[in-house]
């Protein structure tokens, strides 16, 4: 159970999105606020998603119908499904990029290149009209295959081996990155908070990243929890997933920033950050040992693509299960709708980085717009409703029964948990939203 949920949580959110969000929001202070969001908002809301899923044994929207029949709560489920669909569309674009990098690493294409070369190559690749689309479609087909062939169990078993490997490789890369010249500047960026840079964007960014990285706010973990057994300790599982996820994100930061500062890549480079920084680590850290750099870079991108796959599967599953159960179409037809829809939206997102750069919504490219609307609006809003639903709507006895597995587990912080769900989480999320809109001056 822990591995399935952790497989969903650990993905591009940790290794790609966390470093660039940190870079764009000034470093250490952002990380501090992020950690607070994970602990105070993430953990209680994750436990709530788990208990909603396990209690109802249904897909996200169905769960609200079971627990709150004929009430508007099911709209929280609908919003989650939509968020999952939108995230999957642009997430697959980036997941497709990892395939290009597997190929590049496989043909030893990083050898002998400079930081400028990597930057130029990435820009040329991501802006070209055709190549990223091929990878995008390939990645969505892979996800589709896993969903319809029912090899999900296999993938999950597989992720038990793969995740520790990825973890180990990340540790090696941390050491490599820290050994680069001028790495200490990157470390300083990560460790010394500069609170003068903190504004409402930083809070919204950190909160959104916490939800995104933990797969929260759209019923993803809720769907997984509907398969949990009666004896799964929900709070322990939530803390384990939270710790694994956070650890991977921080380690990714420890790879990216020392390397970025070392080779002179600006930390606020945005979504391209890891794709232009990491190849440098492989190139420079193993100076002289080109076999090592070849093996490690290839392994890394393969594992990254697999980590992304366990995440895309979890999103695809939410939308497919919803269409299958609510519209009474077969699972295959439901999965085809999801894959087809994501291909169309994904193509839009991908092209918006190149030829469609001028076609903007609210001054954002499609790619950035999708990211903003989902991670910074829909997920926190979904989280807020999940907190309100568990804290106020559900019967307290029922909640206690689920969290304590019918009284067999001792629950230490139950009152605090309910207090956070009732007051702290909804108020904190609302204040961050209102602040961002500029209504608090
Ligand atoms: N958490 C995953 C990552 O870090 C992405 C993801 C999977 C996700 N399922 C989700 C994000 C549901 C938001 C909601 O890569």
Calculate helix-pair angle for 152-178, 2-9, nearest 10 degrees. Answer: 60
Averaged pLDDT, 35-45: 96
Average pLDDT (10-16) is 95
Partners of residue 361 on adjacent β-strands: 364
Q: Sign (positive/negative) of CA torsion 51, 245, 153, 229?
A: negative
Residue of the nearest CA to atom 4 in ligand 1? 13
The whole-number pLDDT of residue 418 equals 94
Q: What is the pLDDT of residues 161-181, one digit of tens each?
A: 888 888 999 999 999 899 988
The per-residue pLDDT for 377 is: 93
Angle at CA 386, nearest 5°, toward 381 and 388? 95
- What's the pTM value of the predicted model, to 2 decimals? 0.94
- Residue 19 near ligand 1, beta carbon < 6 Å: no
Interval 3-32 mean pLDDT: 93
Residues 207 and 195: their CA atoms lie apart, in Å, by 17
Question: Rounded distance, CA 349 to CA 129, Å?
Answer: 11
Q: Is the pLDDT of residue 156 over 80?
A: no
Is there an atom of ligand 1 within 6 Å of 218 CB? yes
Please, which residues have CB within 8 angstroms of residue 120's CB and are 6 or more apart in sequence?
A: none
Mean pLDDT in residue range 14-22? 95
What's residue 288's pLDDT?
59
State if residue 9 touches ligand 1 by the CB under 6 angstroms criterion: yes
For residues 113 and 181, give the distance between their C-alpha atoms in angstroms, rounded to a whole number.
18
Integer Cα distance of 257 and 278 in angstroms: 10
pLDDT at 441 over 60: no
Confidence of residue 208 (pLDDT cuts 50, 70, 90): very high
Checking if the pLDDT of 20 tops 90, the result is yes
Atom 9 of ligand 1, nearest CA residue: 215
Task: Give the per-residue pLDDT at 123.
Answer: 92
pLDDT at residue 136 in the model: 97
pLDDT tens for 300-309 read 999 999 999 9
* Whether residue 23 has its Cβ less than 6 Å from ligand 1: no
> Which of 77-81, 133-137, 298-302, 354-358 is predicted least confidently?
354-358
Structure confidence at residue 224 (pLDDT): 87
End-to-end CA distance of the chain: 45
Q: Which of 389, 409, 413 is nearest to 401 (CA)?
A: 409
Q: What distance in Å separates the CA atoms of residue 157 and residue 259, rounded to the nearest whole number? A: 33
Verify whether ligand 1 is closer than 6 Å to residue 6 (CB atom). Answer: no
* Residue 23 to residue 156: CA distance in whole angstroms: 32
Q: Rounded distance, CA 96 to CA 140, Å? A: 9
Q: Locate the ligand 1 atom nearest the alpha carbon of residue 214 and give its number.
A: 1
Domain 2-436 bears CATH identifier 1.10.510: no
Q: What is the mean pLDDT of residues 372-389?
A: 95
pLDDT at position 171, please?
A: 93
Range in 37-51, 350-364, 380-394 the model is least confident about: 350-364
Q: Indicate whether 289 pLDDT > 70.
A: no
Query: Band of the pLDDT at 46, cuts 50, 70, 90?
Result: very high
pLDDT tens digits along 243-282: 999 999 999 999 999 999 998 888 998 889 999 998 888 8
Residue 93 has pLDDT above 80, yes or no: yes
| Distance (Å, whole) CA 346 – CA 353 | 11
Name which residue sits closest to atom 12 of ligand 1, judged by CA.
Answer: 215
CA distances from residue 242 to 8, 38, 385 in whole angstroms, order as listed:
12, 7, 20
Determine the pLDDT at residue 154. 66
Locate 41 and state its tokens: 């908002």
Chain mean pLDDT for the chain: 91
How far is the centre of ligand 1, averaged over its atoms, from the C-alpha of 38 (Å)? 14
2 pLDDT exceeds 80? no
374 lines ligand 1 (CB under 6 A): no
pLDDT score for 437:
80
Cα separation, 233 vs 189, whole angstroms:
38
Atom of ligand 1 nearest to the CA of 9: 1
Distances (CA, A) of 378 to 18, 76, 116, 173: 18, 10, 37, 34
**pLDDT greater than 60 at residue 211:** yes
Which residue has better confidence, 374 or 439? Answer: 374
Nearest in space to 87 (alpha carbons), one of 330, 414, 396, 319: 319
Residue 13 Cα: closest atom of ligand 1: 4
pLDDT band at 290 (very low <50, low <70, confident <90, very high): confident
The predicted pLDDT at position 366 comes to 93
Residues 265 and 259: their CA atoms lie apart, in Å, by 8
- Mean pLDDT to the nearest integer, 54-71: 88
Q: Is the dihedral of CA 2, 42, 384, 191 positive or negative?
A: negative
Contacts 24+ apart (CB under 8 A), 328-335: 331/148, 332/148, 335/144, 335/147, 335/148
Output the CA 84–ligand 1 centroid distance in Å: 9
């Amino acid at each position: 159970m822990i591995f399935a949920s952790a497989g969903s949580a650990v993905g591009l959110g940790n290794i790609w999105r966390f470093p660039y969000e940190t870079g764009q929001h000034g470093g250490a202070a952002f990380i501090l606020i992020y950690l607070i969001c994970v602990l105070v908002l993430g953990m209680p809301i994750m436990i709530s998603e788990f208990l909603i899923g396990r209690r109802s044994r249904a897909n996200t929207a169905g769960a609200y119908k079971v627990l709150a029949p004929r009430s508007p709560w099911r709209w929280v489920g609908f919003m989650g499904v939509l968020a999952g669909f939108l995230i999957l569309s642009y997430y697959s674009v980036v997941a497709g990029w990892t395939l290009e990098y597997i190929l590049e690493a496989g043909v030893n294409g990083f050898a002998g290149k400079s930081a400028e070369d990597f930057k130029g190559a990435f820009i040329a690749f991501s802006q070209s009209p055709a190549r990223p689309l091929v990878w995008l479609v390939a990645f969505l087909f892979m996800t589709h295959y896993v969903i319809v062939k029912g090899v999900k169990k296999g993938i999950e078993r597989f992720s038990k081996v793969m995740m520790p490997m990825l973890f180990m490789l990340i540790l090696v890369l941390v050491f490599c990155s820290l050994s680069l010249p001028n790495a200490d500047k990157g470390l300083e960026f990560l460790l010394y908070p500069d609170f003068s840079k903190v504004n409402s964007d930083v809070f919204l960014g950190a909160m959104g990243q916490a939800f995104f990285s933990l797969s929260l706010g759209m019923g993803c973990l809720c769907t997984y929890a509907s398969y949990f057994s009666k004896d799964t300790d929900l709070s322990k599982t939530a803390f384990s997933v939270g710790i694994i996820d956070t650890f991977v994100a921080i380690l990714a930061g420890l790879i990216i920033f020392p390397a970025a500062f070392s080779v002179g890549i600006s930390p606020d480079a945005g979504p391209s950050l890891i794709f232009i920084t990491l190849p440098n680590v492989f190139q420079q850290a193993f100076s002289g040992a080109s076999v090592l750099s070849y093996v490690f870079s290839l392994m890394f991108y393969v594992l990254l693509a697999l980590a992304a796959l366990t995440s895309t599967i979890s999103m695809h599953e939410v939308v497919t299960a919803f269409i299958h159960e609510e519209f009474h179409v077969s699972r295959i037809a439901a999965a085809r709708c999801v894959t087809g829809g994501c291909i169309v939206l994904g193509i839009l997102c991908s092209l918006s980085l190149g030829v469609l750069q001028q076609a903007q919504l609210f001054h954002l490219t499609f790619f950035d717009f999708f990211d903003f609307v989902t991670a910074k609006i829909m997920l926190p809003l979904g989280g807020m409703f999940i907190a309100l639903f568990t804290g106020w709507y559900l019967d307290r006895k029922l909640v206690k029964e689920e969290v304590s597995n019918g009284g067999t587990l001792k629950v230490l912080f139950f009152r605090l948990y309910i207090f956070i769900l009732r007051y702290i989480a909804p108020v904190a999320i609302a204040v961050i939203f209102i602040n961002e809109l500029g209504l608090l001056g």
